[in-house]
Structure 1
């Protein structure tokens, strides 16, 4: 017997938010501007301490993508955590400072640092670009990858630690004289004062469909990001989040003016109008934020901004 369809959430009829994914390990191209292998060599003027450097680096390309997203009216950019890519928090800080309106969602694992240090770093980023930072906390990493990063917390303990991480980070962010003793963290008389106090806490994005992942989001997330899945499966998972947590969708996107030009077979796929229809159909079911990606990231960001977003805005 199939599961009953969940009634659509009541959501404001606003334009769906598109958050474009930034490539932190290259963009599928073999040249130095878009790929990270080989790395650009430093000229002698840099090695011996004098001013100078490459005229165009991979980081300039990341900024091109971010600027295209902003100029095209997209809602934000997502800088995913990649153990073999550039450090996501550093890239996020650079892109956030270079933009005026974009939300910058930084992906990072809960084991990257203490929650107090992560919160302090993020408070500085919030100050640097006016409160536009989001956290996408990665919890369910491959355990082999975790070990290469010096992190040996495994299984359900990863979710228990993530819950403590978010509890402590929010406590020191919003309070003073914070005392906390848990399984993974301990804080005595912590909390932010002075210029670090009074800032908005980053929007918390979480993901996953396990019991532990959904329970963590129900308690701590602002937004829970799902991968594309059959409607009844998505409905079951969304129902477990509660009304406070907003669901979001993550997908690759393949779109062209003529359907005959398409080569991709998965994700959101079709003409500009068809992809807009698919996004709006999910919006009617409660999904107001969409983490999208396609290669090459710059050209496809421009394509979405120029051809799909106007259809979404016109029908919002």
Structure 2
């Protein structure tokens, strides 16, 4: 079952990559049509930009994501003994290489894993997490993160993060170019109904593209959390540690500084409490904590 899930996540990587590339191409076509009257040039520019973003972020995903989240690396057990040894133990049980270990100076308890594969992975924990979690709870959290590493969830999320960043850059470019008068003149516009609808459609596509990219990231994130919770129980042989940790996370305050594009990486949504309660679950990157706890209790 576990190896089937890993293989499934690898296949998902291909589908996610294809879907995001199609979206990037559509945005490029829209930009090219609006600003140059040709979709082909826009697609070429968008493709080049996407390749650059993917090359940089995928090849250096750990450093990029850790810098985005203001994390500092620790290099030995002397700097944070309990965290280091727990990560070491969970990596050994999961049969993956020891990841790089980072700490984020933030009072809100949280943690995440990132990287391109188990050989180039890293985990991060906030100072708030280290303060409130006991050994058993910390093992549950790190077991959860090590499951993401073992299941190749980190690669899936890294690719999604890279392409989302490329989409955001394209949209920002289009907005700035339009603001400074870079759009096509009325003389160049096609006055036919097809031309008008094409212009309206291109504008809507550019506006809605970041939302589509975010929804894709959210869909990827939700289901992988349940699997990682189950994986943590498998690694620790102790569901109570993770249950207790998740219960503490239910009362956590939002993190002070977090990159929105990396919110889906964390064990619980680091921004959730900032949103209006009426729409609290509309665009969640994670399943509700009470549902995750209920599933663990059923074990």
Which TM-score applies when normalising by structure 2? 0.23
Instruction: Name the structure with the higher strand share.
Output: 1
Which TM-score applies when normalising by structure 1? 0.22
Instruction: Name the structure with the higher helix share.
Output: 2
